[in-house]
Structure 1
Amino acid sequence: MSTVHEDTKAWLLSQQNWLQEAADRLLSSGQLHEEDLKATAELIKTEDGRKVTKHRAFTSLTQAPVASGELRLFGISEVEGIENLSPKSPLDFGKGNLVVVYGHNGSGKSGYTRILKRASGKPRAAALKANVFGDPPKIRQCKIDYGQGASPASLVWLADSDAVPALRAVDIFDSDEAVHYLTKESSAGYVPPLVLMFEQLAAACDGIKAKLQTQQEKLVSALPAVPQEYAGTVPAGQYTKLRHTMTQADIDQLTSWTEAQAKTLQDLGDRLKVADPAAGATQRRAKKAQLEKIIAALGQGAIALGSAGVQSIRTLHTAAKDKRRIASEAATVSSALLDGVGQATWRAMWDAAREYSRTAYPQKQFPVTDKARCLLCHQELQPDAQQRLQDFEQFVGSKLEAEAKAAEKAHADAITALPVPPTDEQLTTQCAAAGLDEAAWLDELKAFWVPTRSTHAALVAKEANGAAVAAPDVAPLAAKLQARAKGLDEEAIQLDKDAREFDRAKAAREKLALEAQKWIYQQKAAVIKEVERLKSWQDFETWKGFASSRKVSMKAGEVTEKIITEAYVNRFNAELEALGARRVRVSIVKTRIERGKAMHQLKLTGAKRGDDPVGVLSEGERRIVALAAFLADVTAKPHVAPFIFDDPISSLDHDFEWAVAKRLAELAKTRQVLVFTHRLSLYGAMEDVAKKNGEQWKKDHLVQRCIEAYSGSAGLPVPETVWTLRTDKANNLLLTRLQAAKKAGDGGGSEAYRALAQGICSDFRKLLERTVEDDLLNEVVKRHRRSVTTENRLSALSAIEPADCAKIDGLMTKYSFYEHSQSMEVPAFIPDEPELRADIEALKAWRDDFENRSKKALG
């Protein structure tokens, strides 16, 4: 055994730290509490907890278990509402080790067994029922008296409530247990501390795994579900297959979204919106043409009204002013009588006169002086006036004047040539025509043309009201508009191509995939969180794998094979031998290890097919084999606790019955054994086997009880009858009953006497039969015993005389009338009290005399 313990210690020191910690706590305290499981579950999550350490001593592995004091059952009483039990007095189990409770079928034996089985927490204990023939009881309970060591205890136990911890050590054999051992796998009834440690350690592993599972289940995914319309796309498929192994690069790739993808999505959307691509191409080219006009106008405005254009206009204006000044300064008309000749007002008047002259003097060259009148006052021109007009015309036709006029005309033409900035309404119309629907486009156009309008007005006014400010830089806007125009052109080209060969279904799929990709991009934060959750989930899967009880169960199997299975098999074979069933071809085999527990089952030995014992063995063989399995299972326990047997010899023949009786008496040498039976043969056999343990032992330990049922109630303890009492005690019992019958007759007449005397006569006949077996034949031969007992008994038979035989025979003949039914023609009259008393006392006197003669015969 020390080798097994050393091997176990070496195995523990080869395990991870968390499992060593669990084993150490278990060995130290005998069990693992909830706090231990929590602490160990947290330890398994740490790197240190998964290391293999060598520092623990596990000294308690070699410590022997401490046995508790002997457990004894003293009795059951005050039964209410359970089965049909309703005893008026306690069922007292006495102080001896071998308790035999006799009762007919239905007398309540199994009811008492069921109470003890339920109260001791046996796994196959059936629920206790109330008497189905009575009203539902208000109270269902009983009182159980027991003792643990030197400490007596008494408790009121409510039917079907929790088991009594102190009674769990009680072992009970009944028909249900027999069936279980024959047909089911079972673990050993007693598990040595070392094996129990593995069972508990396996259970602890399961508990730790369960805690990890509970924690893991709290890692609920918060990842948004893919919209149904994206379900079939490639991006959605990748989204739904997130893995804990994904890196940040993997996540970035999955959730990527670029401007190129956005443009492609926009283009595909636009193309799919177009029902007639050819018309769409025409529309886009029309918009492009409008854009080009806007761009051209912007270019013209930027050139004409920009810094260079404004400077150019200013230069022309300056030149015109300068030349006019020079011409005016050079204007010297000697005939002029007034100042201001050559100035602008004068020139305007002169130009008007020239124009009017064409009306007044058509076909004549201006100025007309011959026989002409003044064009203003219509007076005839005098010679001096004629000369003055000729001088004026000569002045106007001079070079300086011509240059001044040319400069002024150039300035005026430049002003006329300036582009007129569009109004806000015109800009809105242009934007609509060019497809510039966004408000930003109109704002940008206004940002150029609104200040340009002021520039144009200032130049037209010759900057009289302030200097003209050059128009803003239009290059960025023009570039954007050109890009827009280029895009429209490309769209038009694409639409032309679409009109010829566009696959709308494919484009729709591509668009849907891009929309799915964009949606996934929007879930990037959720994806990162989900991958973190999956990593945590996988951590728990790893930890749960470490917490598996499989390795513990495998080691438990090795240990169990060495210290349980082999001993279990040996005990079973020994029990078969002791019960006289060695010829029955069955064996106990280990079937498997379940969570550290070794499971065993009865199997046929040498069977060529997989038939189970139930289908092959006889009913008696099944019973004796089940009893052997039960005894092999429970007798290995180190603590001393009662064994309870409910009709253990059911279906057994006399040979097996005798073997069972001897085995039960052997068990009773070391512990309390309670036997409930309805067989008088077993009742007698138990008395015989008790004698084999010694007369003093029988006197000290054999406790015989009788119970019966009456008026629907069972479990009623009653005194022993003539069938069960010793003949001398039975003789006295009949005399006591006769006295009661006489008293009844004295008070109630002959009918009252005969009602009781009839039973006394019948039992007296039975006592005579017992007298023949126990007294006359000195118990050499008994009806309910298989053996003929001759040892120290045959010599007493020599005391028998003819008178003894005649005495017994006469009484037997006389009282057979009261035991066996008689015909109406030959009625059996009940003897009067004095006659009946004389016969009973005569038998008592004969027994005393014969006993003395028998003792002399034995020497």
Structure 2
Amino acid sequence: MELEEWFEGRPKWLQTAAVLRLAKATLTEADYQQLFNLCQQESENINQTGFSSLSSGSLNNPVMSPSVRIATIHDLKGINALRPARPLDFAVGDNELTVVYGFNGSGKSGYSRLLKHLCGSRFCEDLHPNAFDSVVTEQTAGVQILVNGQSVPLQWRKVDGPLEPLRHVHIFDSECASSYVSKSIEAAFEPAPVRFLADLVADCVKVGQKFDDLMGTYRSRLPLFPQELQESVAATWLKALSPTTTEAELLEWCSWSLAETTELVGLDSDLAQADPVSLVAGKKRKKSAAELLILKLHGFESSWSSAVAEQIAVAREQLAACRRVAAEAAQQVFSGAPLTGIGEATWRALWDAAKVYSEKVAYPDRAFPVLDDAVCVLCQQSMSAAGSQRMQSFNAFVQGALDAAVVDAQASLDRLTVAVVDAPTAEILAAQFDAIDVSMDADSLHKKLGAQRDALMSHQSGGSLPSLDLTGVIQPIEAHVAELQIEISNLEATVDTTERARKQQRRKGLRGKQWLSQQVTAVREEVHRQKALASLATAKKLASTNALTQKKNDLAAALLATAHANRFVVELRELGGDKLPIKILPTRGSRTTQPGFQVSLEGALRLSPSQVLSEGESRIVALAAFMADVTAGPVNVPFVFDDPISSLDQRFEEATARRLIREAKVRQVIVFTHRLSMLALLDDLSGEEGIKVDVVALRGAPEGTGTPGQTAIREKKPEKAVNKLLGERLPKARKALADGDRESGEILLQSVCSDFRVLVERLIEMTLLNGVVQRFQKNLTTKDKLAGLAKIRPEDCVLLESMMTKYSYQEHSQPQETPVPLPSTDELGIDLKAVVDWIQEFSTRGVPLPAG
């Protein structure tokens, strides 16, 4: 009722969409076009017909989803070690519960993992191929389901993902249990009102997209405004064009008069004259260049003087004197050397190279020259006494003061000559003169500078060097600099930058207005386009999802915080965990996720439930949270439980069994277990609720892992099953062996032996002990049964015990080194016939009368 009242305040088109949504599960393109038209119609406030409103109570009608049952899983390929010889069938009738029972390694977990992938479980783990197969095949499976009672075949491939008809099937196992206790869980189902609002949100998005598509067709045909006029007032007005622009405004800006033409011509004439500001800037640049050139020319006069020439000549003479002294000393030191030139530059280069080679390569750890126990690094001969003496003399000479004096003198001369730059070329000088507007003979100046430099570099000490006089070049340039300064001062005194800028801006404005007058039709169309877009944008606001999304989130939070929490309390109580300090807290969703919940410790200051609860307590809390979550969805989809009583004590086991049986009244329930105690509990309690328990026993090798057995191991009257083994299945094994199909025959024979062993157990429970004592049954059944135990004779016990012992070898795994051979078909037939005869005799045997 509250949601209906809320809708009364929504746009009329949205109320119509809500009515349409209630009538149709899927809207067509025609429906969305109709809603779009109504939204636009409502926005423009014209022709207010065609709208609908929600009738009272219309949101309370539940949406029925189809009934789904899983009937068969068959033709498995590439899935774990599963190689079933027969399909796995599930009970699909009302008030039926399927228990898939098997020992460890029989394939229960493989089927459970497969079902999680078939249904798209939130807690899927990897589905591996058989680890021992040499070839990995594509993972596929066939599934037969019933939809509203009609058989529907499905083919699953792992690469294609889950099967859509099974997407609401939920599976409880250890991974699921751990997540429900330790994590924040997104709600499995949206409540119907929330789902309804979510559908409407999607409808609004599609209607909004139609507005976007239509608005995208309204393209502007207005030409681009000239780039050079972008800063004009006309450009500013055009940028501000809007749906509210009037025709009067448009005509004011897009008209052009003769007076405006006259004004524009006058402005063009005024502004065509040279710009004083630009002239001043250009003359300042020339003045700076001229002043720089004057400094360079003065630099040539001062640096190429006779004083500098004398310094260079003296340094050159000093270097020559040092070399003579060093050569004379070397002649005295090396007069006995076999070669000449010792101590000169060429020889010194050879000595330096030898030193580098010795210290870097030949003898890196020893100082050069190496004389003891060494080879000469120059001649590669062993060092003789004479050679060692020469090397010592060479080293003393190199390290002496005379050689060092030569090096210093050379360095002094180099410093002076490097400072003497080359004369600029005639081309460079001509370009510099042109840049400052001075007429000068650049070629003559270049020759004069070059001659002065050559004289400088060849000057001898004590000689005379004419001074470099560039007055004839410098004075005209200085005069030109003075003239430029006068011109600059005069121009700066007369420049009115403000008035020129005003004229330039006015001219831009007039040119912009002139351009607008030429585009008046395009400008008018642009105004109409913007008005149409504004109208569509206003209508699109009626399709905004904000209010719907907020309402959906608020409603989801309220329903999860109340209904979900209440269901959890009920489930925990039914499962016997109501004394546990546990509460459930809602968690908010996001734009891409549903709201959810998380279990928490009541009153705890620290730690999480998984850190405090025992394994059994955690399991029962997880099961309660799971049931509270998934029972919010459709009641006509299956639930699957894989070992639901793991870690539970007897009290919790019984409560869990009762809860599963109660759930089987409203949906298909499938339970995988290896616990006979669970099987017995379900069997015992099912009668109280009118539920039929259908048991499927999985077999391992040799028939193939995951193969469903052909004998009902919980059959109330096992004598029927024994007769079926003798009359139907044993003959099939005998025929296969007789036809030469040894492999198939032995598989069939093994299967009969295994089922016979199970049935002997059941005969002891139901026939010999008359059903008084059954394994894992909570209570003894004595009424009208106990007296039948008096029929038992020692030979009965001997027969059944011998069969148990003999066929237990076929049921349990045996070492490959000492395998137990299968009985022959004749031997097995004799044993089956003996048991059938015993059943007939025992069932007709009278109860002995009491003595006396």
Measured at CA, do residues 597 and 44 of structure 1 come closer, stay the same or move farther in structure 2, by a change above 3 Å?
farther
Q: Secondary structure at the match of 2:564?
A: helix
1:100 equivalent to 2:96? Answer no
Give me the whole-angstrom Cα distance separating, in 1, the residues matched to 2:25 and 2:625.
29
1:499 lines up with 2:504 in the alignment:
no
Measure how far apart 1:103 and its partner are.
3.5
Correspondent of 1:33 among 28, 33, 36? 28
Q: Indicate the residue corresponding to 2:189 in structure 1.
A: 189
Q: Does residue 17 of the first structure (1) align with residue 4 of the second (2)? A: no
Q: Which residue among 716, 720, 733 is the counterpart of 2:711?
A: 720
Between the aligned partners of 2:820 and 2:283, the Cα distance in structure 1 is: 129
Task: Report the 3-state secondary structure (helix = DSSP H, G, I; strand = E; otherwise coil) of the residue aligned with 1:628.
Answer: helix
Residue 606 of structure 1 deviates from its aligned partner by 2.9
Which segment is superposed worse, 610-619 or 10-19? 610-619
CA contact under 8 A between 1:100 and 1:705: conserved in structure 2? Answer: yes
Rounded to whole Å, the distance in 1 between the matches of 2:544 and 2:847 is 75
Q: Unpaired runs of 5+ in structure 1?
A: 281-492
Quick check: 1:707 aligned with 2:698?
Answer: yes
- Rate the CA distance shift 1:275–1:35 in 2: closer, same or farther, 3 A: same
- Quote the residue 2:3 is aligned against: 8
**Could you list the per-position Cα deviations for residues 714-768 of structure 1 after superposition, in whole angstroms to 9, with x for gaps in the alignment?**
44333238688965467657868888999999999xxx99999999999877766
The RMSD of aligned alpha carbons is 6.1
- Amino acid in the other structure paired with 1:189: F
- SS of equivalent to 1:9: helix
How far the C-alpha of 1:693 sits from its partner, in A, is: 3.3
* Residue identity matched to 1:203: A
Q: Structure 1 vs Structure 2: percent identity of aligned residues? A: 31
> What are the within-5 Å matches in structure 2 for residues 641-656 of structure 1?
641-656=637-652
Cα displacement (A) at 1:99: 1.6
Q: Quick check: 2:583–2:600 contact (8 Å CA) kept in 1?
A: yes
In the TM superposition, 1:823-834 aligns within 5 A as: none
**Partner of residue 146, structure 2:** 147
Aligned to 1:568: 564
Query: Over residues 450-475 of structure 1, what are the superposed CA-to-partner deviations in whole Å (9 max), with x where a residue is unaligned?
Result: xxxxxxxxxxxxxxxxxxxxxxxxxx
Pair 239,576 (structure 1): closer, same or farther in 2 beyond 3 Å: farther
Pick one of 62, 70, 73 that aligns with 2:70: 73
2:225 and 2:711 mapped to 1: Cα distance? 82
1:793 to 773, 782, 786: 782
Distance 1:225 1:602 in 2: 61
Distance 1:626 1:568 in 2: 14
Q: Shift of the alpha carbon at 1:789? A: 0.8
Q: Counterpart amino acid of 1:793?
A: T
Alignment of 1:752-771 (within 5 A): none
Q: Does 1:64 align with 2:64?
A: no
Cα deviation, 1:573-612, whole Å, max 9, x if unaligned, reads: 2222222222344444443476899723133153556866
User: Is 2:643–2:671's contact at 8 Å kept on the other side of the alignment?
Assistant: yes
Is the aligned partner of 1:272 residue 2:262? Answer: no
2-side partners of 1:27 and 1:745: how far apart?
65
Q: How many equivalent pairs are there?
A: 627
Trace 1:840-851 onto structure 2 (pairs within 5 A).
none
Q: Specify the SS of the correspondent of 1:44.
A: helix
Is 1:660 matched with 2:659?
Answer: no
TM-score by structure 2 length?
A: 0.56
Structure 1 residue matching 2:711: 3-state secondary structure = coil
- In the aligned structure 2, how far is the partner of 1:650 from the partner of 1:545? 55
How has the CA–CA distance of structure 1 residues 753 and 76 changed in structure 2, closer, same or farther, with 3 Å as cutoff? closer
Aligned to 2:317: none
Corresponding residue for 1:681? 677
Specify whether residues 238 and 24 from structure 1 end up closer, same or farther in structure 2 by C-alpha distance, changes over 3 A only: same
Structure 1 residue 703 displacement after superposition: 2.0
The code of the aligned residue for 2:684 comes to D
Distance (whole Å) between structure 1 residues aligned to residue 211 and residue 846 of structure 2? 81
Equivalent residues in 2 for 1:341-380, closer than 5 Å: none
The Cα offsets for residues 366-388 of structure 1, whole Å up to 9 and x where unpaired, read as: xxxxxxxxxxxxxxxxxxxxxxx
Aligned-pair CA distance for 1:496 = 6.5
Asked if the contact 1:120/1:167 (under 8 Å) is kept, the reply is: yes
Measured in 2, the distance between the counterparts of 1:848 and 1:650 equals 41
Structure 2 contact 70–92 (Cα < 8 Å) conserved: no
Partner AA of 2:197 in structure 1: F
Q: Would the aligned equivalents of 1:235 and 1:254 in 2 still touch at CA under 8 Å?
A: no
Higher mean alpha-carbon deviation, 527-536 vs 670-679, is at 527-536
Deviations 1:244-265 (A, max 9, x none): 5885769988999984876786
Distance 1:104 1:542, change over 3 A: farther
Shift of residue 528, structure 1, vs aligned partner: 8.1
Matches within 5 A, 1:355-434: none
* Deviation at residue 147 of structure 1 after TM alignment: 3.2
CA distance in structure 2 between the aligned counterparts of 1:633 and 1:523, rounded to whole angstroms: 70
Counterpart for residue 485 of structure 1? none
Asked if the contact 1:100–1:674 (Cα under 8 Å) also holds between the matched residues in 2, the reply is yes
The answer to whether the Cα contact below 8 Å between 2:72 and 2:87 also exists between their aligned partners in 1 is yes
List runs of 5+ in structure 2 lacking aligned partners: 287-485
Relative to the length of structure 1, the TM-score reads 0.56
Q: Deviations over 1:259-294 (max 9, x none)?
A: 4876786568564256567999xxxxxxxxxxxxxx
Distance in 2, Cα, partners of 1:857 & 1:251:
126
Secondary structure of the equivalent of 2:587?
strand
User: SS of the counterpart of 1:789?
Assistant: coil
Task: Map 1:208-219 onto structure 2 (within 5 A).
Answer: 208-215=207-214
For residue 37 of structure 1, give the secondary structure of its aligned residue in structure 2. helix
Q: CA deviation at 1:130?
A: 6.5
Partner of residue 412, structure 1: none
**1:672 corresponds to:** 668
610 and 518 in structure 1: CA distance in 2 versus 1, 3 angstrom threshold = farther
For residues 685 and 760 of structure 1, what CA distance do their matches in structure 2 show?
27
Give 2:598's aligned residue. Answer: 602
Amino acid at match of 2:71: F
Q: Are 1:244 and 1:538, in contact at CA under 8 Å, matched by a contact in 2?
A: no
Q: Which one-letter code corresponds to 1:553 in the other structure? A: T
